[in-house]
Each structure stands twice: as C-alpha cells, then as structure tokens.
C-alpha cells in the first residue's frame, strides 16, 4: 500500500450534490470506496484561476492505495464522469476535478500522468489543504516538505529569502 495525495476541486453545482462544497463532500465519499482515506483536509473556498468565473471548493486527501497510479487515474476519471464532468477548456468551470498530486517519494512521467503534479508548488489552492493533510510529505523533485512549499507560496513575490 502507498499513500497517494489526491486534490479535489469543484466550482459548479450538481443536481444531486448541490453547491461545490457538497460536490467535494460527495467525491470524498466516492474516494473512500476506492481505498482507505487516511486523512482529509477541510474544504476551503478559493478564487478561480484562468477563465473560470466561479469560486472553487478545494480539498486534499491522503488515500491508502494498493494499485498502480495509472489505475488510480482511471478510477478518478471514472468518478469525474459519474459526477457529470465533460471534456472542456483548460481551467474552465467544472463540476469535479480530481488530480493525483503526489505519491510517497514516487516520480512518474507517463502519458497523461505526471507525479508529483508539475505545478503543485505554485498552487495555493492545493498547498493550503495539503499542508493540513501531509505537512511532512517531501516533494521528491524539489526536496522540500509540503510545509516548506506552502511557506514559499505564502511569501510575497520579490522579497528576499531570509
């Protein structure tokens, strides 16, 4: 078994699950059926990035996963489809987005799957909940913990490091 970090996001209402925070809660239940959720972050509200216009509900879970990462990705995509996710423009509004952002010390570059997520260190909407779930997880490429990545993301740009 490996601990896999999965980011969840929603900024569109769903007919059955309601507002984005309800969508994320329902997605957490669907993820629990895949493997044991070791820890889940609080659901946080974040501003959209790119052309999206609605605020997001975001969370991160640490999932106990026994299978391969490509198999997990297929399962996550199936959950997204079950929630009504359709292919669309990048960074657009979406009912549910599930991303593998890290998996222990694994580095994987496969078609359609890069672990750790290539833009993880730049994304507060992932780092804010990630630091509550796995503060000591170490990014295998950057060699920094989630706590350190979060602190760097919080630092105003252009200020010197101390």
pLDDT exceeds cutoff 60 at 159: no
Considering only CA atoms, which of 7, 36, 47 is closest in space to residue 24?
A: 7
Task: Verify whether residue 99 is a known catalytic residue.
Answer: yes
Q: Residue 162 — pLDDT band, cuts 50, 70, 90?
A: low
Question: Is there a catalytic annotation at residue 94?
Answer: yes
pTM of the model: 0.91
Q: What is the pLDDT of residue 160?
A: 60
pLDDT of residue 53: 73
Contacts of 22 (CB under 8 A, 6+ apart): 14
Q: Which of 12, 25, 94, 123 is catalytic?
A: 94
Q: Is the peptide bond before 116 cis (omega within 30 degrees of 0)?
A: yes
pLDDT at 93 over 80: no
Residue 49 has pLDDT above 80, yes or no: no
Q: What is the pLDDT of residues 132-155, one digit of tens each?
A: 999 999 999 999 999 999 999 988
| Catalytic residue list contains 97 | yes
Residues forming a β-bridge with 45? 57
- State the burial class of residue 84 (Cβ atoms within 10 Å of its Cβ: 0-12, 13-18, 19+): middle
Average pLDDT of the residues of the chain: 90
Which of 19, 21, 54, 85 is an active site residue?
85
Q: Domain ranges for the chain, please list them.
A: 2-154
The answer, yes or no, to whether residue 90 has pLDDT greater than 70, is: no
- 89 pLDDT band, cuts 50/70/90, is low
Catalytic choice (25, 99, 123, 128): 99
Q: Which CATH superfamily is domain 2-154 in?
A: 7,8-Dihydro-6-hydroxymethylpterin-pyrophosphokinase HPPK (3.30.70.560)
Write out 34-52 in H/E/C secondary structure: HCEEEEECCCEEECCCCCC
* Angle between helical axes of 20-34 and 69-82 (0-180°, round to 10): 140
Residue range 26-42: average pLDDT? 93
Q: Residue 85 catalytic?
A: yes
């Amino acid at each position: 078994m490996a601990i896999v970090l999965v980011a969840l996001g929603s900024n569109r209402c769903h007919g059955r699950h309601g507002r984005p925070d309800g969508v994320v809660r329902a997605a957490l239940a669907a993820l629990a059926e895949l493997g044991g959720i070791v820890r889940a972050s609080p659901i946080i509200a974040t501003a959209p990035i790119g052309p999206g216009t609605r605020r997001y509900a975001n969370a991160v879970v640490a999932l106990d996963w026994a299978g391969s990462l490509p198999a997990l990705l297929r399962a996550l995509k199936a959950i997204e489809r079950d929630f009504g996710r359709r292919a669309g423009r990048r960074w657009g509004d979406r009912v549910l987005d599930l991303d593998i952002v890290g998996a222990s010390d694994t580095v994987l570059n496969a078609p359609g799957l890069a672990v750790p997520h290539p833009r993880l260190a730049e994304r507060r909407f992932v780092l804010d909940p990630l630091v509550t779930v796995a503060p000591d997880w170490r990014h295998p490429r950057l060699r920094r913990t989630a706590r350190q990545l979060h602190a760097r993301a919080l630092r105003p740009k252009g200020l010197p490091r101390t």
